[in-house]
Structure 1
């Protein structure tokens, strides 16, 4: 059974390795990877830049059976992550399955069944013959006038006007002395704003479509009543959400209502106000999303938090008495301030004048009001506007579809299960590589006819609006747990205790939705899983401390257990009375 995997990024690599290991005499899978680039790693290799790091932790991002050392820092640089992927390939020995410089150009259905995949090889003497057209470039009238924005000072410094996508940004020094307009407040846009501030840019204007929800990737220090609480080993926020009664063992009615998300949003907003003075995000004083979609139920967190001190400077206004009561300490706040440099926030410009001046729409947002009083004439525009999903190699007459049409757990389309889309979801708080691993488990079990049918309704999508640009966002834990239940890999509490003891049981209840948890039982049972749970994953729980586990573990679990029990009793009573 030949399987073609398109792309040697983390999703393609884990898919190939898992499919290869799942081969049996009845299902003799024979996978190969076709990768158009000259090396593995995908975005992490070819769209990286200086000082770029993963915003998801090593604990969550690492594949279930190939873990990073305990002593390694929580967040890898992109180069470290590519090295991790190389080691992953070597450890499981599937180097010969990867064909580099092989661009898929056509996928069509075969008259005999299956699919015919055509690809071309890159010429050795022309490594740049394939232009990357997957990045997104929104049209802004008059933007070409930026290229006319020259000055004697810039000419003396050798600064030439430029317009380019973030894919072409590589080093901090490229931003020195420039007047920058950065389009996009995703994690790349925030990284670039921070890099520009540190590089000594003359001006940085960061443009947002509709705001963002800013959180640091780790919990930083804070003060309370003048006492400073410092953590020598801060906890990654993607390891904080507990499993029991919030992700696993949740009544279907509670799942369908999404009440867990609303309650946690309510609590988090009040804690943020007490600690930082604002509910918009973690110490976020500008760029807030509209109140109707503020919270983890609606948007993915932006965990590139480094630029926030520069964005906050014109807006932060908190009474000193409240700062004495409690104060959140941004990572850069203790560093001696070199200047009072601020990164200005603005809406996306409507157009550019002949002079190169940006014209912004006037709204009631405070950043819009402030920027309307400034004359913004950038000499450099960077599109940090993300990438598009390009499936132009599919023959249109063959009705292959797209990830958005994959109605079976966002993995494959009903009636077309031999085509799967792995890694095309965005978690609100989490990481794509472990999702890709679970999706591959699910797809293999589906192909083998071992997925429990009928599938229960899905309640893992974030509550995005129909007009939202990104509609494929999911709650990481809920999605992982759902796939695990579908394939019989979600462990029962008594089952865990009976087979592995109290230590593993407690770790599973208090831990986040780590993929290794779903290899303790079920079709992908892993011999090393118990030891990983007792060591590395247990360490993520103990690092929270007693107070952290009380506030973020015990109290939520008691509350949600009570809620689920009440709903369960209501359902049973309704069935007895014939009302349900």
Structure 2
């Protein structure tokens, strides 16, 4: 109002002094501007009454500076004999030096028009030069929770307005009337949505803001440090003012770190685009926020079978959610299979991925713990969560289904009891009943299963044959060679994929060389459906291994290529990470002169005198005295090989059996449930934890998330969409329960609303978002949001889980960043 009055009076005075008459079109146009600001003043009346003195002074200063430049430009323009003040002013800016344009002001209005649909009407006028700063200063964003859907009318008008803005540079060279018509149409588009019907259609708010941000940034106003014309100086003042005020509002809403990022984005894209991107992230965070149900269903009395890592995680989760828990362990000690391991056994999963979400390992711990240390960790976990008092030393003989739950027959020594339970969690572990192949013939030496192997002293001066190619088989073969065995032979039926668990304490471990975003979460649906990501990246992985280690079948793996090991997809194999044996296997193949460039990889085992002979694709056919006859498993090679032996170790795995369920399996493994290998839809009260086998990951964190999923399902808190199991299954794996670790974890988390809300953490704590996007599927990530959110999880993600990302190095992180660009 004040601007219109002063400018009109000033122009009339100058024209009177010049003894000229004011054209009617200028008079009408200036009165139109006067009306614009009269409406703005009327709309601001309530804001002016409740604004603070600080806000009012800031607004007054901004408007005063803007008015100064506008009035200078107005008088100078009229003195030059200009025809139409504001239309030509826009045209002058569009045609000014340095490729500047006035899109910034108009696109700011587009963002404001869409954003403030539930806010006071005065924000619609924030594009009007000096008034923009005043209105925005007096009405900073309130950031109240709103609907996450945008009506069709708003989307159409906003896009049409942006298209009009795109045409302004071309229209600037036309006549003033055409330019003025487009400008008035643009103003109309910004106001029209308030009175247009919604047409019964709406769009996701986050997507709409993201598109607007891209369109605005595409035609951003490149304002130089020192604008050229008076009008550009006015616009520049408004841009800086809007960026500062917006950043201050963002700081109040999300903190100083996010505000700093916003300021950088304002410089790169413009304040309008940065604000649109900010609103897109905020809308996405609100859309993906977990909403807890009004009331959780009771869990009742639950029997947990097993006190290993899976059993402890299940019991702790059940207790935290109000269940009455009884833990039954047949050995009477914590640790399960880890408590009865062979000498020198170490974990092949790292300290970043193996621990539970609420008890982490410190920086002083080596990257891969010994099993003795891990059992001590489990004891600490049980004590911290007071699980010991719920344990019983007993065996479950029979588990019967009843109308109201289950009836368990428990045997404690000679004392047998029958107790009722509402639900049962089976955590008995994979390594209970050894799988012993039926090999005919008599053997005069020692035959043991790897379960019975404890000390390497039994191999001294013996001829040793190890049947199998898993991590235990490799450990046993290496122990035999390192402890002066006379000869060591390793036999494999299908081959294997060998990649070391660690490349040294100063480097990120293998299970941390994976990024979540674009790989197994936040991945485009098309990329996931066609497997395009793995189809591309597998080729680079295999090519890298070929160049650095001389073999594309695995890292430094010159023998034992796995069946179906092609260049199409790399995540369908269970990786053997116990690789100390590979240099001993490679000795024969690397004797060739052309293999010399890769011999440096085997220096660590150079002091081991005995190598390991690999029988590639052979299975044990029969015993005879002190020899084992092997038969080729290749279709084109049927000859037999006889190997002299004193000790035979059968590292042939374990049967998956649940004898207490009395299932008729006909000698086959008992099947796991169909729903994520946890439970069957028709029998949801019986769950199995710790039986799915990851390709590159760890079972304990999987068991913890499985327990959370089961509890959320039982309590009615699984609010997410049902996720199919097919994408994460390793279809070409010899194990029917093999899964892609990260994809499996995020599938469970999405169903219960525990997947990290990436947009929220980008706004609230970018370091956490970095750990979520560039890190592996660590357990603390699934305690950030959802029904099982934990207060310490953000700090763990922002500190500990950034360490393996730093250890990767800049080059690898840049590669992951490119992966995000293509597949996320």
TM-score when scaled to structure 1? 0.82
Aligned-residue CA RMSD (Å): 2.5
- The equivalent position to 1:343 in structure 2, one of 609, 613, 622, is 613
Matches within 5 A, 1:340-419: 341-352=611-622, 354-362=624-632, 372=641, 375-396=642-663, 404-419=671-686
Distance 1:271 1:203 in 2: 33
Per-residue Cα deviation, 1:117-140 (whole angstroms, up to 9, x for no partner): 11101369xxxxxxx971110111
User: Are residues 1:204 and 2:488 paired?
Assistant: yes
Deviation at 1:519, TM superposition (A): 0.9
Contact in 2 for aligned 1:207/1:347 (Cα 8 Å): yes
Alpha-carbon distance in structure 2 between the residues aligned to 1:323 and 1:538: 37
Matching of residue 516 in structure 1 with residue 790 in structure 2: no
Check conservation: 2:720, 2:753, Cα contact below 8 A: no
CA distance in 1, matches of 2:317, 2:628: 50
Please, which of 497, 521, 533 is the counterpart of residue 213 of structure 1?
A: 497
Per the alignment, residue 116 of structure 1 pairs with: 407
How far did residue 391 of structure 1 move?
Answer: 1.0
User: What's the offset of the Cα at 1:252?
Assistant: 3.3
Q: Of 396, 409, 412, which aligns to 1:104?
A: 396
Distance 2:718 2:616 in 1: 48
Deviates more, 1:240-249 or 1:339-348: 339-348
Q: Are positions 1:54 and 2:327 aligned together?
A: no
Q: What SS does structure 1 have at the residue aligned with 2:489?
A: strand
In the alignment, is residue 476 of structure 1 matched against residue 734 of structure 2?
no
TM-aligned CA deviation for residue 350 of structure 1: 4.4
Q: Is the alpha carbon distance of 1:367 and 1:430 closer, same or farther for their aligned partners in structure 2, counting shifts above 3 Å?
A: farther
Counterparts of 2:468 and 2:544 in 1: how far apart (Å)? Answer: 28
Relative distance call for 1:340 and 1:13 in structure 2 (3 A) is closer
| Contact 2:398/2:660 (<8 A) preserved | yes
| CA distance, structure 2, for counterparts of residue 137 and residue 541 of structure 1 | 42
User: What corresponds to 1:263 in structure 2?
Assistant: 536
**Comparing both structures, which one devotes a greater share of its residues to helix?**
2
Pair 1:423-2:690 in alignment: yes
SS at match of 1:146: coil
| 3-state SS in 2 of match to 1:284 | coil
Is 1:41 matched up with 2:304? no
- CA–CA separation in structure 2 for the residues paired with 1:318 and 1:489: 53
SS of 2:812 mapped into structure 1: helix
Q: Which of 432, 437, 440 is matched with 1:138 structurally?
A: 437
User: Equivalent residues in 2 for 1:399-548 (5 A)?
Assistant: 404-452=671-719, 455-465=722-732, 469-499=734-764, 501-548=765-812
Q: Following the alignment from structure 2 to structure 1, what is the Cα–Cα distance between the partners of residues 494 and 582?
A: 17
Question: What corresponds to 1:236 in structure 2?
Answer: 509
* Alignment correspondent of 2:460: 176
Query: How far apart are residue 219 of structure 1 and its match?
Result: 2.6
Q: Point out the more displaced range, 171-180 or 414-423.
A: 171-180
* Unpaired stretches in structure 2, ≥5 consecutive residues: 1-299, 416-430
Which structure would you say has the larger Rg?
2
C-alpha contact 1:423 1:436 (8 A) present in aligned 2: yes
Higher mean displacement: 339-348 or 301-310: 339-348
1:66-81 matches, cutoff 5 A: 66-81=359-374
Please report how far the alpha carbon of residue 361 of structure 1 lies from its aligned counterpart in structure 2 after TM superposition.
Answer: 1.8
Between the aligned partners of 1:363 and 1:8, the Cα distance in structure 2 is: 39
Structure-1 residue corresponding to 2:562: 289
C-alpha distance in 1, partners of 2:629/2:476? 22
Compute the displacement of 1:355 (Å): 3.6
SS of the aligned residue for 1:360 comes to: strand
Distance 1:410 1:306 in 2: 32
Matched, 1:90 2:90: no
Q: Distance in 2 between matches of 1:477 and 1:349?
A: 33
Residues 67/104 of structure 1: CA separation in 2 closer, same or farther (3 Å cut): same
Task: Confirm or deny: 8 A CA contact 2:657 2:670 kept in the other structure.
Answer: no
Deviation at 1:469, TM superposition (A): 4.0
Using a 3 Å threshold, how does the CA distance of structure 1 residues 544 and 22 change in structure 2: closer, same or farther?
Answer: same
Q: CA deviation at 1:313?
A: 1.0
* 1:556 aligned counterpart, secondary structure: helix
Paired positions, count: 506
Matched, 1:559 2:822: yes
Q: State whether residues 197 and 204 of structure 1, in contact with CA within 8 Å, keep that contact through their aligned partners in structure 2.
A: yes
Task: Pick 1 or 2: higher relative contact order, CA cutoff 8 A, min separation 6.
Answer: 1
Q: How high is the TM-score relative to the length of structure 2?
A: 0.58
The one-character-per-residue Cα deviations of 1:78-115 (angstroms, maximum 9, x if unpaired) are: 11000000000011112111112x0000000124x100
